[in-house]
Amino acid sequence: MGNPMTEKSTSNPGFSFADWNDLKSFLDDVLSGAEQVGDSGKLGGSTLPEVIAAAANSGLTVKNLVYNSDFTLYSNQSGISNWYDYKHPDGWIFTCDGTSPQIGYDSSAVACRITTPADATAMSLVQNLHEFPRWAAKLRGKQVTVHVSIQGPAGVSVTLTDGVTSDSETLEGTGSAESIDLTLTVDAAATYLRLTIASTGNTETIYLYAAYGNIGEVAIEGLPCQIDRIGLWQGMDEAYPETVMECSAASSLIEIPAGYTRLESWLNGRFGRGANSRSYLPELRGRFLRVWANGSAQDPDRATRTDRGDGTTGDKPGTLQANQNLSHNHATYPPDAHANGAGGGVQMYVYPSLMGGTGSSGGNQSNPNNINVLAGIRWA
């Protein structure tokens, strides 16, 4: 027997929902008695599968607007010996005005951990939730609700804002995880939607366990994310999808545009930065991709790989290697010689055709059999 919550019915129950709030209102009416439960378990005269079918047929879809909402992705980590080696979580922009603040993944707490130094006066961890194609049409005029599970001292604030209206709460400092729920209706003139965790204290330790949000009155955990995983994309198309950026070429470095902070968080200047201090996209056009050796002798020249853009060289992801041939040689034949006459003198005969080298052959480069693919960096 199928699951009525996951199967899409083709039946038409005779009604529809304008949005998720409309569906929630209908179910609230059922629970309050304003809509009567009919015979055979009917809701307002319809069965539960028919209600679900009406929601599906109305085109209702809801996704999590927060990327890396469980704080498990750390593409800029430098190691795993210390929790702060993981550095900031992907999708989030971390700033702190103190000396040597720490942020990373604390496996014992199963959380993103932040420690502010003694001279800190301002710290923030920010994610722009609107950075996906056609966000304005999807979000403006809609109610958005965000849930944050966080532990920290009193006064740490969590804010959801669209630049016109805001909803904010501060922690009570209970010593355990606190649940923060924020909601606002995105203004018709909004130019962004932003979630911010901030503090003005010092020598503080903050743990972030989860942050998720969606269109509707209630933030729902476990929804698929609006953003596919940020990173390398490959395809056989001749044009890039709108969620993918073209990569740089060696002769034409591309600095990412303004307004792509989640992508900036992932790149973090590892391939260098442009005139506007934003990250360059990696130089992939026309290059073969090689799996990172990570100490393997399969790349005997791994130690001499060149700068990827941020000063990192050697056996690290993103470092470069120029084309070359394996060291070898070509044998040549010496001049022929033989004895001439009874005097035993030696007369040398040189054959020019054997002294001119092996000649040239081949094309403009050394390469294995290959097929062209389109490669870029997915940002949404």
**Whether residue 156 sits in one domain with residue 28:** no
- What's the pTM? 0.77
In a domain, 72, yes or no: no
Orientation of helix 48-57 relative to helix 20-32, angle to 10°: 160
- Give the pLDDT confidence score for residue 112 in this predicted structure: 98
Give the confidence band of 41 by pLDDT, cuts at 50, 70, 90. Answer: very low
Q: Report the DSSP pairing between strands 123-128 and 93-96.
A: antiparallel
Mean pLDDT of the chain: 84
**Whether residue 140 sits in one domain with residue 90:** yes
How many separate domains does the chain show? 3
**Whether residue 376 sits in one domain with residue 254:** yes
Can you name the residues that pair with 112 across neighbouring β-strands?
A: 105, 208
**Whether residue 258 sits in one domain with residue 133:** no
In a domain, 123, yes or no: yes
Looking at the chain, the number of H-run helices and the number of E-run strands are 4, 17
DSSP 3-state of 39 = helix
Report which of residues 245 and 370 the model is more confident about. Answer: 245
CATH number of the domain bearing residue 188: 2.60.120.260
> Which residues make Cβ contacts (< 8 Å) with residue 80, sequence separation at least 6?
86
pLDDT at 199 over 90: yes
**Parent domain of 29:** 1-60
**Whether residue 149 sits in one domain with residue 197:** yes
Q: What angle do CA 336, 339, 345 make, to 5 degrees?
A: 115
* DSSP class of 353: G
Question: How far apart are alpha carbons 123 and 22 in whole angstroms?
Answer: 39
Contact 65, 193 (CB under 8 A): yes
pLDDT at 15 over 80: no
In a domain, 347, yes or no: no
**Whether residue 206 sits in one domain with residue 253:** no
Contact 12, 57 (CB under 8 A): yes
In a domain, 17, yes or no: yes
Percent of the chain with pLDDT over 70: 76
Of the candidates 160, 189, 215, which is a domain's last residue? 215
Contact 233, 247 (CB under 8 A): no
pLDDT tens digits, one per residue of 262-320: 999 999 999 999 999 999 999 989 888 888 888 898 888 889 899 898 899 998 888 88
Q: What is the 3-state secondary structure (H, E, C) of 257-316?
A: CCCCHHHHHHHCCCCCECCCCCEECCECCCCCCCCCCCCCCCCCCHHHCECCCCCCCCCC
Question: How far apart are alpha carbons 45 and 13 in whole angstroms?
Answer: 9
Closest by CA to 281, choosing from 290, 300, 268, is 268
- Reading phi first (left if > 0) and then psi (alpha if -120 to 50, else beta), residue 50 is in alpha
Q: CA 378 → CA 205, 250, 258, 286, 289, distances in Å?
A: 33, 20, 16, 18, 17
Residues in the chain: 380
Of the candidates 153, 183, 215, which is a domain's last residue? 215
**Whether residue 196 sits in one domain with residue 122:** yes
